[in-house]
Structure 1
Amino acid sequence: MTHPDANGRHLWPVNGPDPGVHELDPEPFPDPVHDPYESTPPTTTRRVRLTPAAGIRLRPTFWLWDGRMPHGAITIGPGREGIGKSLFCAWLAARVTLGELPGEHYGQPKSVIYAATEDSWERTLAGRLVVAGADMNRVFRVEVEHIGGMTLPLSLPKDCDAMASEITAHDVALLIVDPLISVLDEKINPHADRDLRTGLEPLAKLADQTGCTIFGLAHFNKASGTDVLSRIMGGRAFSAVARAVIAFARNTRDGDGSCVISQVKNNLGKLDVPSLRYVVESVELDTAEGPAQWGQMVITGETNVHVNDLLDDAPPSREETDRRKERELARAWLLEFLAGRDEPTWANDLYAAGAEVGNWSEDQLKNAKKNTPITVKKVGKRWYWQLPADDDAADSEEEGKSARAQERTEADPPS
């Protein structure tokens, strides 16, 4: 039973209204609207699918270039600037267009798509192809036309589908990208492996589905060592996604200006294929505006010299030369500074003096100490440096430690 209040509203007894009604409103609440998605699992465009290995059809490996460049896969060609990597691309394109390359298409001329961003076609690339003997009707420059009529450079993986159509339509067996990093979408960070794979893996799929070999040039970074794969500029994904890597280096040992091509990765074949020696010659061509010179790569035969043997023989970069010079200056100062002290010098005092004299960091001074007779020992919680006297060097156990042992003891930071 309800009771009207002063405003004529009906109040329910204190013991409460029936379920679903408000004490100031005798009408029940409406039923809530049913959400059709409430109990429905969320839709997804992904699902896990398992395929028995027994149902996978086996396929043999075919080669664009016997034992060196796999058919329908990515091959990377790293090397320093100025040793003829682009001339190799012209040589390779010519052999494919003439059907002269030993491999799957030997005796069958095929077309080549050439994507280059660093060289002019009129002044550089076309002339190189001519002197290499290419069938110019089978070599195609690639550009992308925007709907508004603007011409844009190739961008991968954005243009992979369109490239697949052109590869099929023009009987293309080889796509050359010079350099490979230049055609990746601008949003891709070439130094982040996971990001880089988003551009390279669709490119690998394009090669596999069309049967077109993709050969991309790459530059060396500033690292040292003889591991070619670790010296490719950009992320490690470049060498990981590529099925083969062919590296270039100048043959500094023979001193005749020749260069070497070596197989440094070959996931689908043998790695011990012979290295090749080549030289670069100059060829003059007549043009409508007068004669001009173009470079031509000439492979002279096999060689026992491998690119790995030449990497540390290459002339150092300007940055490396500057670092070496600075290290020698720091080393000379260290020896002079410690030679005038009879007592060991606290490391922190030495670092402060080095910073004041030559603006050298702690790490620079530690590197400068290598291959010197300077010894380091710990007293309490402090580290001390000392240049021992010649007469005492043989008698002191601390002073007789090897440079390697000293580096290990110095791992604890001085206090």
Structure 2
Amino acid sequence: MPSPSNKRRKPARSTRAQSSGNVVRWPGLERDKPDRRTLKHAVSLTSYESKQVRWVWEGRIPLGKITIIDGDPNMGKSVIANADLASRVTTGSAMPDGGDGLGEPRSVVLVVAEDDIGDTVRPRLEAAGADLDYMFTMPVQRNDAGQVIPLTIPDDLERLREVIEEVDAALVVIDPITAFLSESINSHNDASVRRALSPLKEVAEETGAAVLLVRHLNKSGDAKAIYRGGGSIAFSGAARSALVVERLPSDPEWSALAQVKGNLSRKSLTIKYRVVSAGPEGKVAAIEWGETCELSADDLLSKPDARKNAPARTEAKAFLMDVLADGPLLVAVVQKHATAAGISWTTVKRASTELGVVKETSRKATGKRQIEGWVWSLPKGLKSATEN
């Protein structure tokens, strides 16, 4: 029997990293590639085909994805979506910036709530030169009482899918999106909005149609463009491209379409437009496109909020700083002085909030310590209007 000292010993495994060219390998960490044929829980990315993004309007409206366009009322966003862009898709025409578009006529499905198809939507399409043989909408459904059953999202997305597939639509416009949300969907709640838009996203991906949602802006005039759309930020989160329309601050005759976000390409240039009269007797709205410009969406929307900078509010602030300069006053006394000065009490209350006026209760010097009323005073560190 050989002596233990004569046994061949395995060389000790090195714990030092070994370098081979630019690759550093640690002994014992080498692993074989997983065999995707035997996977039970994971899905290999090799099973997915690598594809390029295709566009209705390159850089702005991708096929098979959700795009959203925000804007205030009377800015022409519906004329852009339901008439101008829809018409270009039905004729295979170039896009407003001269891009190729789809290059062939394709179908469009309109799901609209605020504009009548007969007296508003169709005349606009005709004025824009649409091929109406490629324009479609959802069939009207009625209950036993003859009442219209509106399309709701996400409940009725199978109905929408059937229409898209039947006409092989390249573009679907839902205007406005909030009018078609199910009653169970809270448009201001992120999780609720995602429950509605995730299935819509799947419809877009599986049919290959671009889904363009139209939405109104909220009242937050001092917020960044990405937060200006009405309702939850989840609307913009679900969209691969987000657009906004707003009047040009330097030339009120013209407005502009700007890109707020673009996940699939670099941001596109802002393009000018204006709403003009067209059609018989010039009674139909149409879009006239202008040149591109360097203004961003934030530039367009960063206008002073008139509600916060109104002259009346400024006057009310000065009044409060004067009347409270000598110390706290009962609200009833402040209101009496405001009436004498001809300043609206509503404006005074709003100005007091912006100034940070301290509002406390005052009690009578009696045994029961009864409340005498509310007292206002200037916050510490705020000088009166007459002080330098």
Instruction: Report 1 or 2 for greater relative contact order, CA contacts < 8 Å, sequence distance ≥ 6.
Output: 2
Common topology (TM > 0.5): yes
* In the alignment, structure 1 residue 332 sits paired with structure 2 residue 323: no
- Mapping for residues 263-342 of structure 1, pairs under 5 Å: 263-271=259-267, 273-285=268-280, 293-313=283-303, 316=306, 320=307, 324=310, 327-339=313-325, 341=326
Checking the alignment, whether the CA contact within 8 Å between 2:221 and 2:304 is kept in structure 1 is no
Checking the alignment, whether the CA contact within 8 Å between 2:322 and 2:384 is kept in structure 1 is no
The residue number in structure 2 matching 1:125 is 121
Instruction: Flag the 1:184–1:361 CA change in 2: closer, same or farther, 3 A.
Output: same
Instruction: Flag the 1:203–1:314 CA change in 2: closer, same or farther, 3 A.
Output: farther
- Taking the aligned partners of 1:177 and 1:325, their CA distance within structure 2 comes to 40
Instruction: Flag the 1:124–1:366 CA change in 2: closer, same or farther, 3 A.
Output: closer
Q: SS in structure 2 opposite 1:223? A: coil
Q: Which of 75, 79, 82 does residue 74 from structure 2 map onto? A: 82
Q: Which of 84, 92, 99 does residue 99 from structure 1 map onto? A: 92
Using structure 1 for the length normalisation, give the TM-score: 0.69
Q: Tell me how far 1:333 sits from its aligned partner.
A: 1.7
Checking the alignment, whether the CA contact within 8 Å between 1:250 and 1:314 is kept in structure 2 is no
Q: SS in structure 2 opposite 1:152? A: coil
2:63 maps to a residue whose letter is H
- Taking the aligned partners of 2:167 and 2:215, their CA distance within structure 1 comes to 26
Moved more, 185-194 or 241-250: 185-194
Checking the alignment, whether the CA contact within 8 Å between 1:73 and 1:242 is kept in structure 2 is yes
- Taking the aligned partners of 2:60 and 2:180, their CA distance within structure 1 comes to 24
- Taking the aligned partners of 1:174 and 1:216, their CA distance within structure 2 comes to 11
* In the alignment, structure 1 residue 193 sits paired with structure 2 residue 183: no
- Taking the aligned partners of 2:349 and 2:288, their CA distance within structure 1 comes to 50
* In the alignment, structure 1 residue 158 sits paired with structure 2 residue 155: yes
Q: SS in structure 2 opposite 1:169? A: helix
Checking the alignment, whether the CA contact within 8 Å between 2:248 and 2:255 is kept in structure 1 is yes
Q: Tell me how far 1:183 sits from its aligned partner.
A: 1.4
* CA RMSD of superposed structures (Å): 3.1
Q: Tell me how far 1:324 sits from its aligned partner.
A: 3.7
Q: Deviations over 1:129-180 (max 9, x none)?
A: 0001000111112234246475432212122112222211212000011111
Unmatched runs of 5 consecutive residues or more in structure 2:
1-39, 339-344, 358-376
- Mapping for residues 99-248 of structure 1, pairs under 5 Å: 99-101=92-94, 106-146=102-142, 148=144, 151-225=148-222, 227-248=224-245
Figure out how many residues of one structure are paired with residues of the other and give that number: 318
Checking the alignment, whether the CA contact within 8 Å between 1:375 and 1:388 is kept in structure 2 is no
* In the alignment, structure 1 residue 259 sits paired with structure 2 residue 251: no
Among the aligned pairs, what percent are the same residue?
29
Using structure 2 for the length normalisation, give the TM-score: 0.73
* In the alignment, structure 1 residue 59 sits paired with structure 2 residue 51: yes
Instruction: Flag the 1:138–1:335 CA change in 2: closer, same or farther, 3 A.
Output: same
Checking the alignment, whether the CA contact within 8 Å between 2:171 and 2:210 is kept in structure 1 is yes
Unmatched runs of 5 consecutive residues or more in structure 1:
1-47, 286-290, 378-383, 394-415
- Taking the aligned partners of 2:385 and 2:150, their CA distance within structure 1 comes to 64
